[in-house]
Amino acid sequence: MRRWWQKRTLRFQLATWYALGGALLLSAFSATLYFYVAERLAQPLDQQLRRDLEHVRANLSVSPDQILLWNEQPLDSIDRQTSDIPWFEVWDTSGRLLGRWWQLDEARLERVPSAPAPSRETFSIFNVGPDLRIRSLSVPLPLRDGQTGMLRVMRNHVASAGALQALVLIIVIALPIVIALLVLGGYIMTRRWLRPLDNMVDEARRITAEDLSRRLPVANPNDELGQLATVFNVTLDRLQNSFVALDRFVADASHELRTPLTTLRSVGEVALRRSRTVEEYRDIIGSMLEESERLQALIDRLLELASAGTRTLDLQLVALDELAAACVNELAVLAEARGQTLTLAPAGCQLRTDPILLRQALHNLIDNAIKYAPPHSPIRVALTAAPDHCTIDVIDQGPGIPPEHRTRITERFYRIDRGRSRSEGGFGLGLSLANAYMRALGGSLEWAPAEPRGSIFRLRLPR
């Protein structure tokens, strides 16, 4: 059963719940309505019965020999057909009928009322014959010698009974129809509301890894389904971006890997075309080894980049000044070789981070600056400490980054000037590595133009 239910569509399930809920609520409503109406219909009759009771009490008396007197006049002497005395009965303590006054022909009745149970004040209904119902009010009646009998006033109940029957009929016939309409309406409405979902399902089926450009239709961006579709589309955007980046990465990586491999092969092949001196062979083998070193370095970087996000961090309290100074000292020789001055402006900032990753990130930035800034230009490494974060800026007077390249500088293998940087031994991975490290550390890598020219690469670390 459970399995069967779970196989049904959402539409079917919702319509069924509508039907069940509707039937339950309507049944409860009908029952309440019936009892309420019955009560209200009986109220005028009951008030009449009370007036009758007052009337009877005012005029009725019982003689010592238990003869009923109406205005001191024996009841039997009054003409039943013309008098306006209300219907009533008087019973004595032992449940014996002392007298009954009504205009009904007792011979035609199926049964007559029996003695009321002794009690304070009781309304009751009983059938005395076909289509003839009596509503009565019984009260205690003091008799002589301190005994208490019962007085019961009565009225015909016919009219209200008919109205109630009609109500029951209406309920019995209308209830199933209303419930059926409810189910149908519920089904149609659900279908209507869920149609955007069907469209989304159809559209989502067409979205594959090959065709990520499709997006889900957003009928109404404000309702829940619209929000779902919007969120889904944002996810698809990200997915598409990463697929595009992956495609480009694969293309770039295969190109970058092929370059040293091609050199390796051609150098080897050409070397074998004729015999050479030992010195020439040494030179050729050395050149091939250089290319294989380059290949290995590239593979190391790629593996590093692929695992940067999954590395477990070794968090320690790090004095950024010391870390930056170590980095600057290490790379100072490179700057010196190009006639550049590499200076450090400390700021006294300490925070918990992974010193190895941070140092790698900074190393890559400074290395980059040395590579791309012109010879004999200054490169500054400046630290700042804010209450919630610390920054390390690497400021050069290089060519800067043209606006169209700014969003792509952290992409793998991305180089503004492809030919130039390769000749300088770069892979175009430095900034993407720095970026990957900073993300692993919960920080960020930002770029800003420097005045009057050049770049500011900023490592921002949360405190």
Binding residues for other proteins (CB under 8 A): 282-283, 285-293, 296-297, 300-301, 304, 330-331, 333-334, 337, 356, 360, 363-364, 367, 425, 433
* Interatomic CA distance for residues 120 and 97, integer angstroms: 18
In terms of CB distance, is 134 or 357 closer to other proteins? 357
The three state secondary structure string of the chain is CHHHHHHCCHHHHHHHHHHHHHHHHHHHHHHHHHHHHHHHHHHHHHHHHHHHHHHHHHHEEECCCCCEEECCEEHHHCCCCCCCCCEEEEECCCCCEEEEECCCCHHHCCCCCCCCCCCCCEEEEEEEECCEEEEEEEEEEECHHHCEEEEEEEEECHHHHHHHHHHHHHHHHHHHHHHHHHHHHHHHHHHHHHHHHHHHHHHHHHCCCCCCCCCCCCCCCCCHHHHHHHHHHHHHHHHHHHHHHHHHHHHHHHHHHHHHHHHHHHHHHHHCCCCCCHHHHHHHHHHHHHHHHHHHHHHHHHHHHHHHHHCCCCCEEEEHHHHHHHHHHHHHHHHHHCCCEEEEECCCCEEEECHHHHHHHHHHHHHHHHHHCCCCCEEEEEEEECCCEEEEEEECCCCCCCHHHHHHCCCCCCCCCHHHHHHCCCCCCHHHHHHHHHHHCCCEEEEEECCCCCEEEEEEEEC
Closest separation between CB of residue 324 and other proteins, Å? Answer: 15
Shortest distance, CB of residue 305 to other proteins, whole angstroms? 10
Between 80 and 282, CB nearer to other proteins: 282
Of 151 and 438, nearer to other proteins (C-beta) is 438
User: Please, what is the minimum distance in Å from the beta carbon of residue 289 to other proteins?
Assistant: 2
Shortest distance in whole angstroms from residue 427 CB to other proteins:
10
Q: How far is the CB of 355 from other proteins (least distance, A)?
A: 12
Q: Which is nearer to other proteins, 229 or 433 (CB)?
A: 433
Shortest Å distance, C-beta 394 to other proteins = 15
Provide, rounded to whole angstroms, the least separation between the CB of residue 304 and other proteins.
Answer: 5
Choose between 190 and 410: whose C-beta lies nearer to other proteins: 410
C-beta of 53 vs 438, nearer to other proteins: 438
| Least CB distance to other proteins at residue 412 (A) | 15
Q: Which one, 296 or 316, has the nearer CB to other proteins? A: 296
Nearer to other proteins, 157 or 301 (CB): 301
